[in-house]
């Protein structure tokens, strides 16, 4: 059943995400062209601010989700209902709290946008973001059950319809009615409708999961305070790490610089969206494997871990090399030469993407294991170093300095997560994990250098980009196969791929 649902999730994810990727690129191009350069920058910075405000969520979603895996495995409907009811009411309170925090933070908007004479667009976009937040926190909670039961494809199917409608509306507004209030307003409308559709479907798919009365005593009895106390540190640190780049860039270089950065982020966010939904299918299965005593007893669980780690590296190296070789020529074709950032920015951007994807599966294991107190100080160090280094390095290196600071901070997160997993899951495997990661890093730099050198012989235009695409798409995988193909982890992945292919063919 795990494998079957993973296949279904993957199929829906790839199909819908590719459609949305194309529409997203068209929409971004029209958005930047139809409005003042500062408008996209304001929107990106405000979005990151609200990512920071989301720390008020206290990590409730993450803590309850990893608790739900155990209850779903035990088929304990009573506890599942209690967790989901707590989740719903807590999120409503959190939505209200975030709006109050946003109201106070609105006084700091002029500080973040120095030299802006007319703040009306900033405050308007900010107010629309508050409305979007209320909609999300009041309606989004039902999606958790679909994720934990590996039925996320049902949400993906419904989201696709509303996301396509959103993009088409944005395109129409950019072409014929260039009004930023309408542009952001339709996004709120269709996101709300998507969440309502999921809520209606939820009642049919999980009729046994009922809304039950919960009290503060229930919250304490379920033992969540211990985890939340430490997980709050993770949430705060992640929020600072995720939002500081745009906030520092807006303060030090203006909203226009954020527009340049967010153009690159639009492409990577689209790829990340595809990758996350693809790997989330595996992440849900990981949650079930961790609590499967039979898998642990026969050593299967450890084999799965090392194989998934190799898969993460293959995915991360492919993304990093592709960005390094293709980002600049793609931006040239897509947005034109005026929107290009330095190659040094792209280099650090690629490294940050590699760090994230390379330990993506390890992060999934870390999320379901708990023990949040053990790496909390790594998270704190990550947040502080990101802010401090961003302000220091932007003076000397400009925007590339901000991304370099982000890479360093991201590595601190990685070390902390690896420490927890090596202690509580692959006990005694820390040395092997470090050796493997060093080999991965050497291989990555070799792939980036060789692919970049070969791409240098390609011409410009669409034909040259097609040649670069072939090099970046084929060569890294070939090198990885030569270096790692003989390992047992690769053999397990090949066997897993064959079983998937057989099941897909059978379902065909």
Q: Where are the domains of the chain?
A: 1-229, 292-508
Helix ranges (H only) for 75-117 are 77-105, 109-112
| Rounded Cα distance, 401 and 392, in Å | 8
Give me the pLDDT at residue 351, please. Answer: 95
139-166: per-residue pLDDT in tens? 777 788 887 777 777 777 888 888 899 9
Give me the pLDDT at residue 324, please. Answer: 94
Cβ-based neighbours of 408, under 8 Å, separated by 6 or more: 385, 386, 389
Comparing 54 with 75, the larger pLDDT belongs to 75
Give me the pLDDT at residue 297, please. Answer: 45
**Average pLDDT over every residue of 22-46:** 86
401-414: per-residue pLDDT in tens? 999 999 999 999 89
> DSSP secondary-structure letter at 123?
H
- For residue 228, what pLDDT band results from cuts at 50, 70 and 90? low
- For residue 286, what pLDDT band results from cuts at 50, 70 and 90? low
Q: Is the pLDDT of residue 63 over 70?
A: no
Give me the pLDDT at residue 440, please. Answer: 94
- For residue 57, what pLDDT band results from cuts at 50, 70 and 90? low
Give me the pLDDT at residue 78, please. Answer: 82
Q: What is the DSSP string of 287-355?
A: HHHHT-HHHHHTTHHHHHHHHHHHHHHHHHHHHHHHHHHHHHHHHHHHT-GGGPPPHHHHHHHHHHHHH
Indicate the helix (H) or strand (E) that contains 222: none
298-355: per-residue pLDDT in tens? 567 777 888 888 989 999 999 999 999 999 999 988 888 888 889 999 999 999 999 9
For residue 44, give Cα distances in angstroms to 270, 306, 341, 358, 439. Answer: 15, 37, 17, 26, 36
Q: Is the pLDDT of residue 448 over 90?
A: yes
How far from the centroid of its chain's Cα atoms is residue 129's Cα? 19
- For residue 500, what pLDDT band results from cuts at 50, 70 and 90? low
Identify the top-confidence range among 42-51, 67-76, 395-404. 395-404
**Is residue 318 within 8 Å of residue 371, measured between CB atoms?**
no
Comparing 57 with 186, the larger pLDDT belongs to 186
């Amino acid at each position: 059943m795990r494998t079957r649902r993973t296949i279904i999730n993957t199929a829906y994810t790839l199909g819908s995400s590719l459609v949305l990727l194309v529409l997203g690129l068209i929409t971004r191009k029209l958005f930047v062209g139809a409005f003042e350069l500062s408008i996209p920058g304001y929107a990106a910075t405000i979005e990151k601010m609200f990512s920071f405000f989301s720390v008020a969520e206290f990590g409730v979603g993450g803590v309850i989700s990893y608790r739900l895996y155990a209850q779903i495995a035990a088929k304990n409907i009573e506890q599942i209902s209690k967790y989901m009811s707590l989740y719903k009411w807590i999120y409503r309170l959190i939505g209200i709290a975030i709006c109050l925090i946003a109201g106070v933070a609105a006084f700091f908007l002029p500080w973040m946008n120095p030299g802006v004479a007319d703040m009306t667009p900033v405050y308007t976009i900010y107010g629309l973001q508050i409305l979007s937040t209320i909609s999300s926190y009041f309606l989004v909670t039902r999606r958790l059950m679909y994720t934990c039961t590996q039925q996320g494809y049902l949400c993906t199917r419904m989201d696709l319809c509303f996301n396509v409608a959103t993009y088409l509306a944005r395109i129409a507004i950019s072409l014929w009615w260039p009004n930023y209030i309408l542009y952001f307003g339709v996004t709120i409308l269709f996101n709300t409708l998507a969440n309502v559709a999921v809520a209606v479907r939820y009642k049919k798919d999980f009729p046994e999961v009922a809304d039950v009365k919960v009290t503060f005593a229930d919250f304490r009895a379920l033992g969540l305070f211990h985890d939340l106390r430490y997980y709050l540190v993770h949430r705060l640190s992640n929020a600072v790490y995720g939002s500081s780049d745009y906030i520092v860039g807006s303060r030090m270089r203006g909203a226009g610089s954020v527009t340049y950065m967010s153009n690159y982020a639009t492409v990577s966010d689209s790829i990340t969206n595809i990758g996350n939904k693809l790997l989330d299918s595996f992440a849900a299965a990981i949650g079930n494997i961790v609590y499967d005593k039979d898998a642990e007893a026969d050593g299967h669980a450890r084999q799965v871990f090392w194989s998934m780690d190799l898969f993460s590296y293959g995915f991360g190296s492919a993304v990093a090399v592709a960005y390094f070789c293709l980002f600049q020529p793609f931006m040239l074709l897509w947005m034109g030469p005026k929107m290009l950032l330095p190659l040094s920015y792209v280099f650090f951007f690629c490294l940050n993407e590699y760090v994230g994807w390379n330990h993506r599966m390890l992060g999934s294991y870390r999320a379901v294991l708990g023990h949040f107190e053990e790496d909390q100080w790594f998270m704190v160090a990550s947040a502080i170093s990101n802010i401090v280094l961003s302000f220091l390095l932007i003076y000397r290196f400009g925007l590339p300095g901000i991304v370099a600071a982000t890479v360093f901070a991201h590595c601190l997160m990685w070390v902390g997560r690896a420490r927890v997993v090596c202690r509580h899951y692959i006990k005694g495997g820390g040395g092997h994990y470090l050796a493997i990661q060093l080999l991965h890093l050497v291989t990555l730099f070799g792939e980036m250098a060789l692919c970049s050198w070969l791409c240098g012989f390609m011409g410009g235009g669409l034909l040259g980009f097609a040649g670069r695409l072939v090099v970046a798409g084929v060569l890294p995988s070939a090198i990885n196969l030569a270096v790692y193909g003989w390992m047992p982890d690769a053999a397990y992945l090949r066997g897993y791929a064959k079983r998937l292919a057989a099941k897909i063919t059978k379902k065909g």
